[in-house]
């Protein structure tokens, strides 16, 4: 068999010719090869002839590219969701291990923070008593005791709308009330409002990150809401 290219004739090896005849899909599934064949066909027909097959192939290739991009995006989103679910599950299991409240807070600020890949975790509790209990200093930086109304004010940032149960944002208030000296390095945070039971004042769990893209508006909050629900139940046990 021979293929004509310009004034030259190039012979196709019998073995290759036999393979193509036996399995033409190897040609049809090769985009570059099919594009070259269509281009050669158009060149033979001349510039004044519109090859509808070539146009159709270009459109099909464009649609296939979009389909592949969508497919990759769906797979990436599913992988991220599965990875996030595994992280939350591991963090919850680790959080449930301690048998003392002091150990619980230590685990929260170290092991759980490491699993969730955040730079700081703070448990914020409102109290009507002035001044912090000196005995809390041994617990570390995880627990923050604040005045009544602080949590709503911190989550709303001056907005009249009531705070959402889970809030993700990148514009962190200019205060060191939560993260202390590390506040200047925080670029995004997740805030989870806590219901600690009837008769108890408001609580909040805050996660701060130096990564500005770790928490941002528009991201899903289902996993964090689930984590906050488990955390609430653990806190009620410690406070009972």
pLDDT digits (tens, 9 = 90+) for 109-158: 999 999 999 999 999 998 877 555 544 545 568 899 888 989 988 998 86
**CA dihedral of 186, 189, 212, 227, whole degrees rounded to 10:** 130
CATH number of the domain within which 101 lies: 3.30.450.40
Find where tokens 């929260």 sit.
108
CB 221 within 8 A of CB 166: yes
DSSP annotation of 12 reads: P
Specify whether 150 is located in the same domain as 212: yes
**229: pLDDT strictly greater than 80:** yes
Q: Look at residue 234 and tell me if it is in a domain.
A: yes
Cα–Cα distance, 224 to 210 (Å, whole number): 18
Specify whether 88 is located in the same domain as 45: no
pTM of the model: 0.64
Specify whether 218 is located in the same domain as 105: yes
Specify whether 94 is located in the same domain as 148: yes
CB 53 within 8 A of CB 38: yes
Specify whether 10 is located in the same domain as 89: no
pLDDT tens profile 166-177: 999 998 888 888
Q: What average pLDDT does range 87-100 have in this prediction?
A: 90
């Amino acid at each position: 068999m021979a293929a004509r290219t310009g004034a030259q004739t190039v012979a196709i090896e019998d073995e290759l010719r036999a393979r193509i005849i036996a399995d033409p899909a190897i040609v049809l599934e090769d985009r570059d090869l099919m594009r070259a064949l269509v281009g050669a066909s158009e060149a033979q027909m001349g510039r004044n002839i519109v090859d509808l097959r070539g146009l159709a192939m270009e459109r099909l290739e464009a649609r296939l590219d979009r389909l592949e991009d969508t497919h990759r995006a769906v797979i990436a989103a599913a992988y991220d969701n599965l990875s996030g679910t595994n992280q939350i599950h591991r963090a919850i299991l680790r959080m449930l291990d301690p048998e003392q409240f002091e150990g619980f807070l230590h685990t929260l600020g170290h092991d759980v923070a490491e699993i969730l890949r955040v730079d700081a975790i703070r448990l914020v509790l409102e109290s009507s008593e002035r001044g912090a209990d000196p005995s809390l200093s041994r617990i570390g930086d995880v627990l923050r005791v604040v005045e009544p109304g602080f949590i709503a004010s911190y989550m709303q940032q001056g907005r009249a709308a009531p705070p959402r149960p889970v809030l993700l944002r990148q514009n962190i208030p200019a205060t060191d009330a939560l993260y202390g000296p590390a506040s200047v390095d925080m670029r995004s945070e997740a805030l989870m409002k806590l219901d600690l039971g009837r008769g108890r004042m408001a609580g909040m769990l805050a996660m701060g990150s130096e990564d500005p893209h770790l928490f941002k508006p528009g991201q899903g909050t289902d996993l964090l809401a689930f984590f906050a629900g488990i955390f609430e139940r653990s806190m009620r046990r410690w406070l009972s």
